[in-house]
Structure 1
Amino acid sequence: MKRIFAVLSLFTVALGVKAQPVNYHQNIQPLIQSHCLPCHAKNSIAPIPLTDYEELLAYGNMLGYVTANNIMPPWRAENKEGHLKNYNTLNEKEITLIKKWIASGFPEGDRVQRPATTQYHTNVSGRLINVAMQKAFPIKSDYTERAQVFVLEPPTKKDEWIYAIKFLPGNRKIVKLASISLDTGIQGKLYDSYDERYGYSSQVGLSYIPSQFNWFQWTPDTADSFFNLPAPIKMKAGSRLLMHIAYAASDSIQKDSSVVLLRAGEKIPDSSGLQAGILIDTTHITNGPFVINKGDKKKVFAVRKLEQDEIIVSLMPMGQFALSSWDIYAIDSSNGIRIPLLRIPHWDAHWKKKYYLQQPLHLPKGSTIHATAYYNNSDDNRSLIILPPKQIRYGEGIRDEMFVIQYDYLESASPVVKK
């Protein structure tokens, strides 16, 4: 009898217990910290700060819309196989959590139970090489987006092996994209001398291919910590860094003084080094010249056969506003297996990224890389810069179109670095 009474008591208590409602401090703030900062921090590139409850409350319904429709966070690649690093998107459970929070009236919850605020810091241990801009770059208040390449001189007189890198935007309000390349020649210096302003203007690329192209890429959602390179890169004495920065349009006068931090170590002989190159370009196209006529909805196919073993570390496809999707895969010559590399079903030219594989992919000689890009140069593509559409050819201008896949690869075996 006592046992029955105990069971009934527990059942009665259970009926009286209500499910803990979804609230901001316990459920939503951790998602914002993980997926939305630092882009949506105060004085950052995103126009809407989301650093506290009051700020998020003002845009709560918008949060529901952009997350439910996979507009934000702006990760465009599929990762069904789990083969990509730094995967930044919300899963269905997290999206449902946001929907429940909105439906229940945006409850704040107990501030005592809120998680610790994420701190963004720049202090690190170890030997640092600080590569700074020589002077601030001014941005006019003319509502115009612009891009500038700055040729930076590292303060070192000897060869250095670089194994980690960090970019510090000087002004998060306007810096929306930065890529760092390494150049052992003088061409960047020559381009710099032709432009009367500090640095030289280059809307899309560097205007040439340096020795280490797109060594590192930063976007506002990049983690605020050092990025450990998959393998060390040799920075020869006398080399220069090319810092390509895309600036957002501004309605007020701004200045930027961005900085690149490098961590140097000693490379052990016979370990591999990281290299950068072009994996696919227009020379590999199999279905005709790269011309997209007015009104065309066209797939462009490319195949490249590897002439030697390759160890692929990352991929960075490039394209502009007529591009709609990328599908990239490899066929292993040793077994005929198809290996997914990168699929971006909804391309957005505003969110170009370098995608790193979880593990370097070794492909033997004779393997093939296959790429398909879909272009929409018709009236129903509202992303086009030029409307009504006109014929588009290959080029690096913002009104041209591109068909390029950059990549990082290893020279040989797994690297070993002594700090």
Structure 2
Amino acid sequence: MVSASRPLLLTSLVLFACGESGDGTDGTAAAEASTTAGAPTGGSDGDPTTTGSVPTTGGTTEGGEDVRPNWHQDIAPLVTASCQTCHVPGGIAPFSLMTYDEAKPWAALMAADVEQGLMPPWHALETDVCQPPLPYLHDPRLSDDQKAMFQDWADLGAPQGDPALAAPLPPAPSLDLENPTTSITMATPVDIDKVGNSLDFFHCLSLDPGNAAPVYVDGIQVLAGNPKIVHHVLIYVDAGADSASWPGGVKHNCGGGAGIGNAQLIGGWVPGGMPMVAPAGVSTELPAGARLILNVHYHATGGGPETDSATGLALRWTDAPAEWSTFFTLIGAPGVGESLAGPLQIPAGEEAHVEEYEYVVPNNIPALADVRVWTVLNHMHKVGVDMRVWVEAAGGDTCLLHTPKWDFNWQRSYQYDAPIDQSFRVRAGDRVRLRCVYNNTMSNPGVVEMLAEAGLDAPVDVGLGEGTLDEMCLAGVGVAIKGFSL
């Protein structure tokens, strides 16, 4: 997804993805708060959730009471909080879950997916080898009781319940940035179509935010012009406005980077991504006259030509800097740090190939500077199956992120749920370690998909690169710094 051939300490804002609550609270907590008042209490009152009673055709018990759990009183609040970032009309999910009639046919599948942890999509897990230092913000995972409620609802035939008794719904997740300062859009359309076996194209768009003086950004929203082909977007600051010379504001086939050598990464987006919002008191500078570069990964549909003419950004900024400045370091392959096993090479047929990298926090950070990690992301391609990032320091090891069920189709960064001055602190000399595991066999569905896209039917050796048949082992670590400017 990204390319870096030189040491990078880059500005960043956080990337959100499907399955989050948009109200600034944990989606699970919002759902629990909405269902507690009307939740079944159990006992001997004939509640089918606790006694196994069978509902009548009308969705009521023999005593005339509504069957529980039902859509209006129990399931709808959970779906609103944890599913409706993606499962809305026109969303990236294959079906909408906005109404009872839309949800009922999928009741059994919903129950199975939430039980297996497939939905809501969330891949940062607590494991035997990873206990993160803080909880993650906007964690949409359901409790065991909530998962059981989905199963009970499906087993009962997905009763609707009485709309007059509907539980209050939490605020639906929003994909729009609150109170944007400005919005900007690409100047020239881009046409995308399959070329031979190639479906992936990287084009860079240069946008002018129009700020005559320095501003300090704390919110970004990517506006995907054509969701059919916009696979992901990386956002860079071009401080010297060098990209203004690109004809029509587009540099075609610019690779996985910014298309120029001195741009700074400030964020990224994948389909379903929510606005990127920095923690309170944290911002990143956008110099006067600077331009913004969008590296857009276009993925052709294979069904004919498509055009993107409306991709752009919504931005929110202030005229004064925040107390903390945010930076982003890309560690591993192809970021900074050293490989512990030589060049990345994954032989065909290996089921549990491991690559490891180490990055030492530089000693140019003064002892009085306060450096806090506030967001972390993992990145591999389709051969990857498991990735972990941790810090080795004088006081012991701290695991930042573990994604043991890696899924290329559900990428996001994970922000810690804590004020910036209480987030995890790093110091000069600390060692950041990465461990990536790959399965380059046909037992890996990602490999099967990758080979099909390339027109192949058997695994091949995979090395470092940006294309379909390449891999990466890359961690993005977002830090905020107080008392020191890099």
Quickly name the TM-score band, shorter chain normalised. 0.7 to 0.9
How far apart in 2 are the matches of 1:342 and 1:100? 33
Deviations 1:195-224 (A, max 9, x none): x995534675546665321x223344444x
Picking from 293, 300, 304, the partner of 2:347 is 293
Pick from 172, 188, 200 the counterpart of residue 252 of structure 2. 200
Could you tell me which of 374, 381, 401 is aligned with 2:471? Answer: 401
Give the Cα separation in 2 of the matches to 1:147 and 1:46: 24
Of 312-321 and 238-247, the range deviating more from structure 2: 238-247
* Matches for 1:260-279 after TM superposition, within 5 Å: 260-268=313-321, 271-279=323-331
Counterpart check, 1:347 vs 2:397: no
Partner of 2:153: 101
The 3-state SS of whatever aligns with 2:446 is coil
Contact 1:168–1:259 (Cα < 8 Å) also in 2:
yes
Local SS of the residue matching 1:65: helix
Go from structure 1 to structure 2 and tell me whether the alpha carbon gap of 1:328 and 1:118 turns closer, same or farther (over 3 Å shift). closer
Question: What is the CA distance between 1:66 and its match in structure 2?
Answer: 1.9
More strand by share: 1
Q: Per the alignment, in what secondary structure is the counterpart of residue 55 of structure 1? A: helix
Deviation at 1:394, TM superposition (A): 0.7
What CA distance in whole angstroms lies between the structure 2 residues aligned with 1:260 and 1:147? 18
TM-score normalised to the size of structure 2? 0.71
SS in 1 for 2:482: coil
Q: Deviations over 1:291-329 (max 9, x none)?
A: 111222311122222223543222222211111111111
Pick closer, same or farther for the CA change 1:28–1:34 going to 2, 3 Å: same
Shift of 1:188: 4.9
Aligned pair in 2 of structure 1 residues 36, 156: CA closer, same or farther (>3 Å)? same
Residue 464 of structure 2 contacts residue 471 of structure 2 at CA under 8 Å; is this kept in 1? yes
Q: Assess if the C-alpha contact under 8 Å between 1:130 and 1:155 holds in 2.
A: no
**Segment of structure 1 superposing worse, 306-315 or 70-79:** 306-315
Q: 2:359 aligns with which of 290, 301, 304?
A: 304
Aligned to 1:162: 217
1:409 aligns to what SS in structure 2? strand
Q: Paired residues, what number?
A: 393
Q: CA–CA distance in 1 between the matches of 2:192 and 2:164? A: 42
| Deviation string, structure 1 residues 114-146 (Cα, Å, up to 9, x no partner) | 345738485844x71222222555566999565
Would the aligned equivalents of 1:212 and 1:275 in 2 still touch at CA under 8 Å?
A: no
User: Where does residue 6 of structure 1 map in the other structure?
Assistant: none
Change (3 A) 1:172 1:89: farther
Identity %: 19
Counterpart residue type for residue 228 of structure 1: A
Distance 2:124 2:465 in 1: 24
Residue 215 of structure 2 aligns to which amino acid in structure 1? E
State how far apart, in whole Å, the 2-side matches of 1:414 and 1:23 are.
Answer: 55
Partner of 1:371: 434
Query: RMSD value over aligned CA atoms?
Result: 3.3
| TM-score (structure 1 length as normaliser) | 0.82
Residues 329 and 369, structure 1, Cα contact 8 Å, conserved in 2 = yes
Matching residue of 1:328 = 389
For residues 232-281 of structure 1, give each alpha carbon's deviation from its aligned partner in whole angstroms, at most 9, with x where no partner exists. Answer: 11111222212234456555856552342222213358x33112222333
Greater mean deviation of Cα atoms: 43-52 or 304-313 = 304-313
**Residue among 325, 338, 361 paired with 2:424:** 361
Contact 1:165–1:228 (Cα < 8 Å) also in 2: no
Larger displacement relative to structure 2 (127-136 or 236-245): 127-136
Contact 1:320/1:349 (8 A) holds in 2: yes
Pick one of 78, 90, 99 that aligns with 1:43. Answer: 90
What is the CA–CA distance in structure 1 between the aligned matches of 2:165 and 2:215, rounded to whole Å? 47
Separation (CA, whole Å) in 2 of partners of 1:111 and 1:133: 45
What is the CA deviation profile of residues 12-58 of structure 1, one whole-angstrom value per residue up to 9, with x for unaligned ones?
xx745646610111211111111111211101222211111111112
Equivalent pair of 1:169/1:258 in contact (CA under 8 Å): yes
Hey, what does 2:54 align to over in structure 1? none
1:62 matched to 2:123? no
Asked if the contact 1:148/1:201 (under 8 Å) is kept, the reply is yes
1:5 aligns to what?
none
